[in-house]
Amino acid sequence: MFVEQSAVKIWRIRLGFIVLCVLPTLCLCYFAAVRQSAGYRQQIADKASKILGRQVQVEGMTYPQPGCLKLSGITVAGQALSNVSVVISKHEVRLAVDGFVLDQDVIPFIVGLIERWLSEPYLFHKDYLIDIENFAWQDFGSIENSGVRPLRIECVSAGSGRAIRFFFRDNDENEIRVARLLKHGPRSDSVEKYVTEVQVNTSETLPVPLIFAVLRESGGRHWNFGDRALFAGQINISNVSGYWTAECSGTINHVDLDTTTSLLSSHLQGAAEITLNKLLWSQSRIKNVDCVCVADRGEIEQVWIDRLVRILGCRVDEAYHHLSGSQARSFQRLGFGLVIDSGGLQLRALPGRSGCLLESQGLPVILEPIQAATLDRLAWLLSGTRPPAVPGTDVTAWLLSVLPIPNAYR
C-alpha cells in the first residue's frame, strides 16, 4: 500500500534541494574561485603595499585552515620571502615568516615601519606578532652574527601607548624595545606631548648601523663607525618634545677609524675597539663621558700628533719626530682613556703603558698630558684649521652645541 505524492510536493522538494544544497554549493565554488583568482591575490598585495609602504608582489595563496592565509612567492622591499602565514583575529594579526636576511638596504624600510607603527594608530589599529623562523644578519661584523636565529617581533598597544619589542626566542634576555607614550601637559596647556623611549639590552653583538638607524630621531649626531661595527651593552633613551636624555654603557668592536674620521680634515686608519664605561646625556647635552679606545695597529697623520701636543698638551717622546719626514705614521698601538664632563677633558694612558698614548716601531711617540684641558680645546683639535678656529666645521659646531657647560659658566 502506498500514498500517491502530488506534483506540488515533488516540486517543493526539488526546489528545497536546489535552494539548500545546489545554490550553497555554487556559491562556495564561486567564492573559492574568486579567492584563488589573480584579481583577489592582487587585492591582498595592494593592501599589504598600503600597510608596508612598499610595493608587494604575491605569486601564490592558499588556505590551509579556517582563518589562516598562506602566501608564497612574496617580494617586498627588494627581498624575496618564500612563505608567509597570516592569521587575523579581532584584535591581533599573527605572521609567521620562514626566513629573513637583514642587510644595509633593508634597514631604512624597517625603521620606517617602526616610525609608522608608533605614529599611525588609525592605520595600524591591531596588535602584530611576527615570528621569523630563520633570521640572519648580512654584511655586518664578525662571523658570530651570521648564524640563523628565530626572531620574534611584538607590536602592541595599550591606551595611548604603543611599543615594539625585538628579541631572539632562544634568548629573550637580549632585546630592543621602542615605545611611544602620550603625556598630557598641564590643564593650561592643551598641547599633547609624546615621549619616545628606546631600550637596548644585549650581551650579544648588534650592528651599530641598525642601532643608529633606530636612534636617528633622538636628536643626536651619530658618528659613522663603519658598516662592520658591532655593539654589545645597554642603552636607555628618552625623547620628550625634542629634548632627550640617554644613558649608555658597553663596547663597540670593529670600529673603522678611516670611516669614523672621514668628516674631519685629517684621518686615521685601522680597526679599533671602544669601551663605553659611561655615557650620559641630559637635555640634549653631554653630561659625562668615560671611555677607553684601543687600536693595535694602523696609520695616523703626523698633523694629529702635532695637534695633540700643541692643543691638548701631550708630551713628546723619543719617536715623536719621524726621520723620513712622511706625513703618515704607522703605529703598533694606540690606547687612551678619555673623560669629558663639566670640569674639562682628561686624556690618560692605559694602565701599564708608562703614560704612553701612541707607540710606533716599539717606541713611544707621545705621552699623556700633565693636566686636564678645557672643553673648547677639543673643538680646536677637530676643527682642522690653523690657527684653530671654531666652529671650523659642521662637526665642531655640533660638538660645541652638545658639550657640557663648563663649571665657570654655571
* Residue 54: inside a domain: no
Query: What pTM value is reported for the model?
Result: 0.78
Q: Tell me the torsion sign for CA atoms 65, 67, 73, 77.
A: negative
The strand ranges marked E within 13-126 are: 56-57, 60-65, 68-76, 79-88, 92-102
Report CA-CA distances (Å) from 2 to 5, 8, 9, 128, 218. Answer: 9, 18, 15, 65, 89
Provide the domain limits for residue 302: 287-410
* Residue 385: inside a domain: yes
- Residue 173 sits at the vertex; the CA angle it makes with 172 and 178, to the nearest 5 degrees, is 85
Return per-residue pLDDT of the chain as tens, 410 residues.
444 557 777 777 777 777 777 777 777 776 666 566 666 677 777 787 787 777 888 887 777 777 788 888 888 866 777 788 888 888 888 989 888 888 777 777 888 888 888 888 888 888 999 998 888 877 654 444 456 888 899 999 887 789 999 988 887 778 888 888 877 655 445 455 778 888 888 888 888 877 777 776 554 556 788 888 889 999 998 877 777 788 999 999 999 999 988 878 788 899 999 999 999 988 878 899 999 999 998 999 888 888 899 888 999 887 777 656 667 888 999 999 999 998 889 999 999 888 999 998 888 999 999 998 888 888 888 876 666 666 667 777 778 888 888 775 55
Cell 628565530 locates to 150
* Residue 322: inside a domain: yes
* Residue 280: inside a domain: no
Give, for 200, the enclosing helix (H) or strand (E): strand 192-207
* Residue 279: inside a domain: no
* Residue 389: inside a domain: yes
Sequence-distant (6+) residues with CB within 8 A of 368 are: 314, 315, 336, 347, 348, 349, 355, 356, 357
308-355 confidence digits (pLDDT tens):
998 889 998 877 776 566 678 889 999 999 999 988 899 999 998 889
| Inter-helix orientation angle 394-402/376-383, to 10° | 170
Beta partners for residue 408, in sequence order: none
Give the total number of structural domains in the chain: 1
- Using CA atoms, how far apart are residues 260 and 306, in angstroms rounded to an integer? 20
Nearest to 165 by CA among 138, 120, 202, 218: 202
What is the distance, to the nearest Å, from the Cα of residue 303 to the centroid of all Cα atoms in its chain?
34
Give the Cβ contact number of residue 149 at 10 Å: 16
* Residue 179: inside a domain: no
- What secondary structure does DSSP assign to 267-327, as a single string? -EEEEEEEEEEEEEEETTEEEEEEEEEEEEEEEEEHHHHHHHHHTT-PEE-TTSS-TT--S
* Residue 400: inside a domain: yes
